[in-house]
Structure 1
Amino acid sequence: MKLIAVDVDGTLINSKNQISKKTKDTLIKAAKNGNKIVIVSGRPAPGLSALAEELEFDKFHGLLSSNNGSTITDFASGEILADHFLDMDLARKILKESQKIDLDIVLSHGDILISDKSHKYLDHEVRLLKLQSKIIPDVRENLSFKINKILFAGEPEKVDKYYPFLEENYGEITSQVRSHAYNYEVMPKGLSKGASLLEIAKFYRIKREDIVAFGDELNDLTMIETAGVGVAMANAVDDLKEIADYITLSNDEDGIAYYLDRFVL
């Protein structure tokens, strides 16, 4: 059995935000052949449901590793295999102190995306993930629910300017990743996409060398490093390509299917 891990944006889905028929058919075939498929994404689990249904995760007990590996879910049964949250006091401290930097926030709670005010990055996440949103003006001072991560968002030059504040003040007590030019994410210490693959592999008794991971962005680095075979898409950032074991075709050229057809199936 192989554990086949796929990132979403820029990897599983193409530039039209769709899973191509070739990629879908290949991943379903891999699952039918007894391999375990996991979608590994920065998105919250409810924002991955439609993709999981397309890949017939309900039939083959495919897995969701959401919020950059913070939560691991068996899609068919709904069983949560792992769930890691930021310490509530620490989350409140970060939310309160980060008001001094000019970045917006997005928090997820179940199938609702939450911020302290309306902004275009929240609107984008709502459209992309097809979830509801809620504005809680005092959420930074009075967080009342557990969260897996804090997403900070802004124009790339603003993220460049302000992420050092988060890194310098909380870098030793949290895990942090630049998941996109517009996004910077803060998670519980020790959490990453790569760490979630090791959790899954341990649960299903899959050897590390039998993990195959596909990615394209900086938040996929740990996943590519951890896997027995780390596969970068042709459209991946250079830093990922440099550490990958293999560079496949792009997400618009069925790069996942290209690799699996040749080396797994």
Structure 2
Amino acid sequence: MKLIGLDIDGTLITSKKQISPKTKDTLIRAMKQGHKVVIVTGRPTPGARELAEILEFEKYGGLLSTYNGGAITDCKTHKTLTSHPMDVDLAREIVKFSKNLDLEIILPYENTIYTRYENKYPKGEATMLKMDYKIVENLEDIIDFAPNKILFAQDPDRIEEPSQKLKEKFGDVTEQVKSARFYYEVMPKGPSKGKSLLEIADIFGIDQKDIIAFGDEMNDETMIKIAGVGVAMGNAVEGIKQIADYITLSNDEDGIAYYLEKFIL
């Protein structure tokens, strides 16, 4: 049995934001043959459920690792297997600190995305993930919940300086990663995409050498490194290609299906 971990954007879905018929059929065939398929994403759990439905995870026992490894959900039993939320006081402190930074905040919790002001990034994220969207100007004042992550967004030419300030202030007590040219994610210390795959492997009795991980961005680094085989998409950033064991075709060329058919199925 193989444990197959799949990033979403730039990996599982095409540049048109769809799962191709060939990739869908290949992944379902893999599950029918007894392999475990896991969507491993920075997205909130509600934002990954539609893709899980397309891949028939409930029927075939697929899993979701969301919030960059912050929570693991078994789609067949609808049970949360693990959850690693951020400390409430720390989350409040980060949100308060970010108020004076040149960043848009995207705070997902349950089925809602909270933000301070109406902006293209939070609104676009809520629309894409089919989540509710709520604007709260004094966001730090309403945080009485423990989020699994806090996402920040800004235009690529403006994101580096303010995100570095977050790193300097909270780098010792959080995990931080740039997940796209315009996204910067802050998570609790400890969880990662890679660690979530190890957790799943332990739960289902799968050897680490039997983990296959597909990714394209630097927030996929941990799972590419821990996998028995780390597979970079043809469209992956150079840093991921350099650490991968194999470079497959791009997400627009059914790179996942190509690898699985060539080596696993």
TM, length-normalised to structure 2: 0.98
- Residue identity matched to 2:221: L
Number of the residue aligned with 2:142 = 142
Q: Which residue of 1 aligns with 2:34?
A: 34
Which residue in 1 is equivalent to 2:184?
A: 184
Aligned AA (1:225): K
Specify every segment of 5 or more residues in structure 1 that has no aligned partner in the other structure, as ranges. Answer: none
The CA deviation at 1:119 is 1.1
Report the AA paired with residue 124 of structure 2.
H
For residues 114-193 of structure 1, what are the structure 2 equivalents within 5 Å?
A: 114-193=114-193
The amino acid across from 1:42 in the alignment is: G
Aligned twin of 1:90: 90
Residue correspondence of structure 1 range 6-25 to structure 2 within 5 A: 6-25=6-25
Q: Alignment partner of 1:179: what SS?
A: strand
Alpha-carbon deviation of 1:141? 3.2
Matches within 5 A, 1:54-65: 54-65=54-65
Residue number in structure 2 paired with 1:237: 237
Residue 109 of structure 1 aligns to which amino acid in structure 2? Answer: Y
Whole-Å Cα distance in 1 between the matches of residues 156 and 74 of structure 2?
A: 35
| Residue range with higher mean Cα deviation, 232-241 or 186-195 | 186-195
Cα distance in 1 for partners of 2:247, 2:153 equals 29
Please state how far the C-alpha of 1:127 moved relative to its aligned partner.
Answer: 1.9
How many residues are treated as equivalent by the alignment?
A: 265
Query: What per-residue deviation string (whole Å, max 9, x for no partner) do you get for residues 202-246 of structure 1?
Result: 111111000000000110011100111000000000000000000
Structure 2 stretches of 5 or more lacking a match?
none
What per-residue deviation string (whole Å, max 9, x for no partner) do you get for residues 9-48 of structure 1? 0000001111001000000000000000000011111111
Q: TM-score, normalised by structure 1?
A: 0.98
Mapping for residues 192-231 of structure 1, pairs under 5 Å: 192-231=192-231
Which amino acid is 2:165 matched to? F
Q: CA deviation at 1:75?
A: 1.2
Q: In 2, distance between residues paired with 1:150 and 1:202?
A: 28
State the Cα deviation string for residues 126-166 of structure 1 (Å, max 9, x = none): 22112211112222233122200100111112211111111
Do residues 250 (structure 1) and 250 (structure 2) align?
Answer: yes
RMSD of aligned residue pairs (Cα, Å): 0.9
Question: In structure 2, how many angstroms separate the alpha carbons of the residues matched to 1:25 and 1:119?
Answer: 37
Deviations for 1:60-111, whole angstroms, at most 9, x for unmatched residues? 1100001111010011221000111111111111111121211010111111
Which residue matches 2:46? 46
- The whole-number CA distance in structure 2 between the counterparts of 1:61 and 1:221 is 25
Matched residue type, 1:203: I
Which segment drifts farther, 89-98 or 136-145?
136-145
1: distance between equivalents of 2:143 and 2:12? 34
Match of 2:3 in 1: 3
